[in-house]
Structure formats: structure tokens, C-alpha cells
Amino acid sequence: MSDATYPPLRMRFSFESRCRIVQRILVGESPQAAAAACGASRATGYRLWRRYQEGGWEALRERRSTPKRQPRRLAPECEAEIAAIRARTQAGPLVLAAILERPASTIGKVLRRLGLSRLPKPERDPVVRYERERPGELLHVDTKRLNRFWHVGKRILADGKRRSTGAGWHFLHVAIDDHSRLAYGEVLTSEDGEACAAFLTRALAWYREQGIAVERVLTDNAGAYRSRAWRLVCARNRVRRRFTRPYRPQTNGKAEALIKTLLREWAYRFAYPTSQHRSRALPGFLRWYNQRRPHSSLGGRPPISRVSHLCGQYT
């Protein structure tokens, strides 16, 4: 049993501490005395002095722990064969072990050593980032379904018991301006065409109060955004409709990013007593989001900084 008053038998020394031991030897101390003064053993002092004599100060840097001689390591030809079959079949160590008749653990170590333990990710289309030139040129709209609840549930209490079975759903409707990132949102009880059209009417009126005249609205291909009520609201306000490409939610990425921020910083950040309390907290968070919260794509400024001159707040 080791004594806490003595240093450990094997200590880890940095490059600076090794140089300090050798420096003491260079000024006239013996390797044993220099090592003892720095808390090292006699063998460590002689070993560092020998490394310095063989290669200078650079020889005192950290060395890899890989042994110089590995008699049981596979030959380079065998490792190349494993890499070739891995590239051709995209199989894991267990399948490769059956093909090559070698232990799966050995093949796993070879793949890890060659940097092939993970399959390459499939190539994706290049990310095209864009931003409209002026506020109101494009408005992103989307919805997100949220659970209703009457009591604090298992997410907070962490006991695995469901308490609001059959409570139903709330639907978060969001709109965000492409240029300024000014956001508007509501929590409604439906996501059908009538509810989406009514939300768009109120959103357009709110943006007009901020001095923004919406020209286009971008949505996904849900049926609510192709309904007659939605078309009538767009025609009445002279707003042109735009739709994302099928299976490409990245086209409406600003609305998706807003929803992710709302879920992280509003919906799931606090332990609301009921879902009604959560809904009542949304307007306050949106005021913070629009007027105070720094936005990375705006250089650390809030969205209101890009539309304040339209509202007459700054001249």
C-alpha cells in the first residue's frame, strides 16, 4: 500500500520538466542529485541524460508508446488486404473475420490503425446559403406539433410515469423574415387550412406594424398550405406563394432553425406546470428573440436592428 506522503512510483514529466533535470546536470550536478531535486528517480535522471547526449534537447520530447518491435503484428501485405476488402465490401470486422479467417479483434485493430474503423459518410449536395436583400421579400412559415399536458410529466420528474394521457396536441405556427430574421409565432389547437390561413393573416398584419410588406411566403408541401383558405389569404394580401422542393426541408431552413431554437430555449427549457403556461410564455420569448437576443448570422445583433429604420425608431 502506497504512502500518500511520498510521490508515486511512476511520474509523468512534461518536456519542460525533463529539460529542467538535464539543465541541472549541465551546471555540474550528478544525474542522481538532479533527478532527486525534481522528484524523479535515479534511473530517470540517467535515462534523460542519455537521451540528451544522443539527440540533444529534441530527444527529450514525448515519444510514442508504440513498441519498436512488434513480432505479433500483421505484415503490411495482410493489412493492405484487409483494407482492400473493407473498401470493396464496406463490411465490419465480424464479416471480414469470416472472409479472411482471422480474429475480429485483430481486424478491428487494423482498421482503427489505418483510420478505416468508420465508413465514409455519403456525399451530400453542397449547402447553398442565401439571404434576401430587403425585409419582406420572403417570409418562411412552418408548424411544429407539441404535446399538451395538465401536469409536470416524466421528462421533469424522471420517474417514467405518464400523467397527461389523451391530452392531445398543440401546434406551434412560426413565421420568420428571411432578411431580418424577425420572428412571429402562435400556439394554436389545429394545423388545418383554416388555422394556417388565419395565422398568416395575423402574421402579415404584425409585420405591417413593423414596417414590413411581405411579398412572398415560403412553406413546405403540406395540404394546409395548398388549401383554398390559404390561397385566398395570399391573393387578398398580394403575396406570392412558394413551396420547398419535395424531401428538402433545408429549403425552408430558417423556419426549421427557428423551431429548433424555440424548442431548446422556450418549450423545453423550463418546467411549466401545464401546456397553457408554456403557451403564455411564447410572446415574451419572441420579444426577447426579436429585440435583445444576439443572432449569429446578423453579426451578434438582434433581428430588430435590421428593421428599426422601417419602424421609425432610428433616423
pLDDT digits (tens, 9 = 90+) for 180-211: 999 999 999 999 999 999 999 999 999 999 99
Instruction: Tell me the longest C-alpha to C-alpha distance in the chain.
Output: 94
Q: Are both 98 and 50 inside the same structural domain?
A: no
| 1-44 residue pLDDT tens | 455 555 555 567 888 889 999 999 999 999 999 988 888 889 98
Q: Are both 20 and 94 inside the same structural domain?
A: no
Q: Are both 191 and 113 inside the same structural domain?
A: no
Q: Are both 265 and 155 inside the same structural domain?
A: yes
Residue 292 belongs to some domain of the structure: yes
Q: Are both 151 and 203 inside the same structural domain?
A: yes
Q: Are both 294 and 222 inside the same structural domain?
A: yes
Interhelix angle for 93-100 vs 104-113, to 10°? 120
Residue 176 belongs to some domain of the structure: yes
| 229-263 residue pLDDT tens | 999 999 999 999 999 988 888 889 899 999 999 99
Residue 205 belongs to some domain of the structure: yes
Name the pLDDT band for 216 (thresholds 50, 70, 90).
Answer: very high
Q: Are both 147 and 94 inside the same structural domain?
A: no
Q: Are both 184 and 254 inside the same structural domain?
A: yes
* Domain of residue 255, residue span: 139-306
| 131-176 residue pLDDT tens | 888 999 999 999 999 988 887 766 666 666 666 677 789 999 999 9
62-82 average pLDDT score: 88
Residue with the bigger pLDDT between 34 and 65: it is 34
Q: Are both 233 and 289 inside the same structural domain?
A: yes
- DSSP for the chain? ---TTS--SS----HHHHHHHHHHHHTT--HHHHHHHTT--HHHHHHHHHHHHHH-GGGGS----S-S--TTSPPHHHHHHHHHHHHHH---HHHHHHHHTS-HHHHHHHHHHTT-SSPPPPP-PPP-----SSTTS-EEEEEEEEE--SS--HHHH-S-----TT--EEEEEEEEETTT--EEEEEES--SHHHHHHHHHHHHHHHHHTT----EEEE-S-GGGGSHHHHHHHHHTT-EEEEPPTT-GGGGHHHHHHHHHHIIIIITTS--SSHHHHHHTHHHHHHHHHHTS-BGGGTSB-GGGGTTTTTTS--
Q: Are both 152 and 95 inside the same structural domain?
A: no
197-226 average pLDDT score: 95
Q: Are both 219 and 182 inside the same structural domain?
A: yes
> How many folded domains does the chain comprise?
3
Q: Are both 225 and 281 inside the same structural domain?
A: yes
Residue 217 belongs to some domain of the structure: yes
From residue 12, alpha-carbon distances to 1, 25, 44, 196 in Å are 20, 20, 11, 65
**CB-facing half-sphere around the CA of 273: CA atoms within 13 A:** 2
272 in Cβ contact with 278 (< 8 Å): yes
Do the strands 183-188 and 169-177 form a parallel or antiparallel pair, or are they unpaired?
antiparallel
Say what the pLDDT of residue 156 is: 66
Residue 254 belongs to some domain of the structure: yes
Residue 125 belongs to some domain of the structure: no
Residue 38 belongs to some domain of the structure: yes
Q: What is the mean pLDDT of the chain?
A: 88
Residue 276 belongs to some domain of the structure: yes
